[in-house]
Amino acid sequence: MKRHPAKSVALHSTLIAASTIAVFPVVWVVLTSLKPQSGWQSTELKLFSDPTFANYTQVIGGTRFVRWFANSLAVAGLTTLVGLFLAATAGYALSRMRFPGQRPLMTGFLVTQMFPVAILIVPIYNIMAALHLLNTYGGLVLAYCTVAVPFCAWMLKGYFDTISPEIDEAGRMDGLTPFGTFWRLIVPLSRPGLAVTGFYCFLTAWGEVAYATTFMVGEDNYTLAVGMQQFVGQFKAEWGLLTAASVLITIPVGIVFFFAQKHLVAGLTAGGTKA
């Protein structure tokens, strides 16, 4: 059925307006990062104002940004690996095995998502202090896993449900152990679901502020989200440094998304095809 020209104009106008609204903040941050101090402090509204890379030079060479970047990359990478392994094995067990307390465990995974971070900081802090994990990257990774693993396990459970149990039976007939079946047969078939949950684990750790601020002490141990707070003073903020750092922070996320994007749609929708 051919669409009326007026409807086409209205549709495309709406899409263009929505795209502009979505892209404008990103463009504004990039342009602000290229302005000198006189440009972003000016009361005049200008898109371009003597473009310069001075803010990027100052962030990289004049602050601890590189160290914070390395800390965040290490924490986010470990959170992704540990969280993905725990979530995948838990999701597979919930999908394939029947054991006492299975349903309460699944309910518990959902309930943990209802608690705000502010409520969880104190008990997790006490646990970390008792285990002598405060101000360590391992403790921060475990804290992030408490957020990422329950959601990812539930999501992967739904994805594993879409894979035929006959594959598991074939693995057992070939002499594989349950873990061997999971690792050799199920994991290769679950790349879309693993890509989505891995991306979620990475984002959970990459941009988190509350846990990192509470558990980490000392500039050398800061992650990016905490370190960037140094650019905000009591009376003013260094918007040039903040925007330049923000642009640099998006690069790893963009790279991870680039490699995971082909699996994202399949991974997000597959879990809903079977109860």
Question: pLDDT digit of tens for each residue in the chain (275 aa)?
Answer: 566 778 888 888 999 999 999 999 888 888 888 888 776 666 666 666 678 888 899 999 888 999 999 999 999 999 999 999 999 999 999 988 888 888 888 888 888 888 888 888 999 999 999 999 999 999 999 999 998 999 899 889 988 998 888 998 888 888 888 889 999 999 998 888 898 899 889 988 998 889 999 999 888 889 998 888 888 877 778 888 889 999 999 888 888 888 777 766 655 555 444 44
Where does residue 120 rank: exposed (0-12), middle (13-18), buried (19+ CB within 10 A)?
middle
Of the CA atoms within 13 Å of residue 4, those in its CB half-sphere come to: 3
Domains in the chain with CATH codes: 63-270 (1.10.3720.10)
| Residue 39 Cα distances to 9, 147, 229, 243, angstroms | 38, 40, 22, 13
Cα 194 to Cα 200: distance, rounded to the nearest angstrom: 10
Query: Got the DSSP string for 220-235?
Result: GG--HHHHGGGGB-SS
pLDDT at residue 264, as a whole number: 66
Of the CA atoms within 13 Å of residue 253, those in its CB half-sphere come to: 14
- Residue 80 · residue 62 · CB < 8 Å: no
| Residue 73 Cα distances to 43, 115, 172, 262, angstroms | 37, 26, 39, 23
| Residue 156 Cα distances to 36, 98, 171, 252, angstroms | 47, 16, 20, 24
